Amino acid sequence: KQEVTQIPAALSVPEGENLVLNCSFTDSAIYNLQWFRQDPGKGLTSLLLIQSSQREQTSGRLNASLDKSSGRSTLYIAASQPGDSATYLCAVFSGGYNKLIFGAGTRLAVHP
């Protein structure tokens, strides 16, 4: 059974810091991994999609890496800003399951 874990559960940093959010999954047979952002009481905004054959994807100040064999992904946020404050969710799509399986998220607070 696929399980997704995110560490840390919460993170508070001063503005300008570079930071790393971690995601691990138990079954390496995945098709892709997505990182999402969720603001309080709101929907999910897709940030990055990494295919199983890829090692990383970049979008602006965000960079996500994937090490499928070890069951890990990281989301790197450069030069954090208060507007980055949100919960970041990692989700994997496994072929045998036909669905996204989510981690519990990392709640990020960036203070001025």
80 vs 88, beta carbon nearer another protein: 88
Closest separation between CB of residue 2 and another protein, Å? 11
Closest CA to 25 of 88, 93, 77: 93
39 vs 67, beta carbon nearer another protein: 39
Q: Which residues bind another protein (CB under 8 A)?
A: 31-32, 34, 36, 41-46, 49, 51, 89, 91, 93, 95, 97-105
Closest CA to 102 of 87, 80, 112, 85: 87
Closest separation between CB of residue 100 and another protein, Å? 6
User: What is the rounded distance in angstroms from the CA atom of residue 90 to the CA atom of residue 33?
Assistant: 7
Closest separation between CB of residue 19 and another protein, Å? 22
The SS3 assignment for 51 reads strand
